[in-house]
Amino acid sequence: MHMARAVELAACGRGATSPNPVVGCVVLDADGNVAGEGFHAYAGGPHAEVVALRAAGERARGGTAYVTLEPCDHTGRTGPCSLTLLDAGIARVVVAVADPTPKAAGGGARLRAHGVAVEFGVLTEAAERVNAEWLTYARLGRPYVTWKFAATLDGRSAAPDGTSQWITSPEARADVHRLRAESDAIIAGIGTVLTDNPRLTARPTNPPDPSPTGGPADSSGSADPSPKGNPADPDRPTGPAGSSSSTGPSHPASPCGGARPGARVPLRVVVDSEARTPPGARVLDGEAPTLIAVADDIETGLARTDPAQTDLAETGLAQTSPGEAGHKAELIRLPRHDGGLDLEALLRELAAREVVSVFLEGGPTLAGSFLRQGLIDRVIAYLAPALLGAGPAALGDAGVATIAGTHRLVFDDISPIGPDLRLTARPVLAPPRKES
């Protein structure tokens, strides 16, 4: 019961803590009564254990703490949560998931060494689900990938003439913007850019609210103004690479309690192996940071050793007029793979930039490439009650030659969104964890 509540609290931080994990904590007094609760609300904010212990005060002495992620055991700008628990006089700590990062792990061992009873493995699956993005980032060294698509009931993403606006309802499109706002980056392929000229920005109609019960499929939340907009949590490692260093915005109150940051501006990423992004593309409009990934053997007028932050007018990738000041993008070069770019290399590059979660909105070709390379962690499909009978399919070549090779999924959620259905699923077999 108490760990289930801690998982609910952890969900309150989803979409706001990147590049750090979501964590929930419930503190009981010595008689087993709830004395304090807390969650990690935003990157740079106090840890869940600290919040819960502050609420409990002296009632924490001799009590029990239920925590969804192992208390950290390293010193940043503040001390380790393991020591905070010891100082509060906690007698027992129950942990759902061990911390997979060498820098922060060891809190359980420190607590045991000081006579605290520590138990691991309570409601582990639920706690991992709510923290799936960060755990993927920490364990695999790449962001968690959500592929979203909209289609008719017969699986068509557009009509035969290529028109696709709008297959789904305004309610479904608003839901997509809510999910975009939770993500660190939005990815599309050059085909989508050339055909639809999307802005690839998050434009939620209302400020996103956290869901106290949801996991990756159904929770929401606001987050940093950019992937590096708030300072990284000083007491939790930021993942495979780097650290954050800028000052965040003011933090209005959240329905879950505590402080929350303002809306984020996700990074826009265009997979453009042949460097075909046109000068008038909306992804170059300056509304959000943009990264364009090209093949490493493409000549763009940019020396390969030049800094990545480059005005496209200097690269030959897209020419901008002098009046188009803000039309800038980062250009990165990646090796070719499987007829396109090495998408795992792209994800590792994003992880190095502290991108924990990405929202894949590319067309069928790019989606098929991600699926073939085993890089999709969640699928969100918006199905409209409509039939086309012809036109492009939502998914291209996914590397399946026989029914035995089918990419099997398990449903996590099926919800009506206006007149449409939102289906949320994940691969039956999770990707292998990176060996430490």
Tell me the per-residue pLDDT of 232-257, one tens digit each, with 9 for 90 and over: 333 343 333 322 323 233 333 444 75
Whether 142-223+263-427 and 2-130 are alike in CATH topology: the answer is no
Is the pLDDT reported for residue 57 higher than 50?
A: yes
Q: Compute the distance between CA of residue 231 and CA of residue 244 in angstroms, rounded to an integer.
A: 5
Count of CB atoms situated within 10 Å of the CB of 153 = 12
8 A C-beta contact, residue 413 and residue 218: yes
Give residue 263's pLDDT: 54
Give residue 148's pLDDT: 95
Is the pLDDT reported for residue 219 higher than 70?
A: no
Domain locations in the chain?
2-130, 142-223+263-427
Percentage of the chain exceeding pLDDT 70: 77
- The reply to whether CATH 3.40.980.10 applies to domain 2-130 is no
Which carries the bigger pLDDT value, residue 54 or residue 159? 54
In this prediction, residues 83-87 reach a mean pLDDT of 93
Give residue 142's pLDDT: 97
* Residue of 8, 37, 49, 330 marked active site: 49
Q: What b/e readout covers 321-341, taking b as 16+ CB neighbours within 10 angstroms?
A: eeebeebbbbbbbbeebeebb
Q: Which CATH number fits domain 142-223+263-427: 3.30.1490.190, 3.40.190.10, 3.40.430.10, 3.40.50.11890?
A: 3.40.430.10
* Among the ranges given (118-132, 133-147, 316-330, 352-366), the one the predictor scored with the smallest mean pLDDT: 316-330
Model pTM? 0.80
Sheet holding 117-120, edge to edge: 34-39, 24-28, 64-69, 92-97, 117-120
8 A C-beta contact, residue 23 and residue 69: yes
In which band, very low, low, confident or very high, does the pLDDT at 356 lie, cut at 50, 70 and 90? Answer: very high
Give residue 249's pLDDT: 32
The amino acid occupying position 252 is P
Pairing of strands 357-360, 144-152: parallel
49 catalytic? Reply is yes
- DSSP state, 16? T
Pairing of strands 185-189, 357-360: parallel
Which carries the bigger pLDDT value, residue 203 or residue 223? 203
The amino acid occupying position 144 is Y
In this prediction, residues 370-394 reach a mean pLDDT of 92
Give residue 181's pLDDT: 87
In this prediction, residues 16-36 reach a mean pLDDT of 94
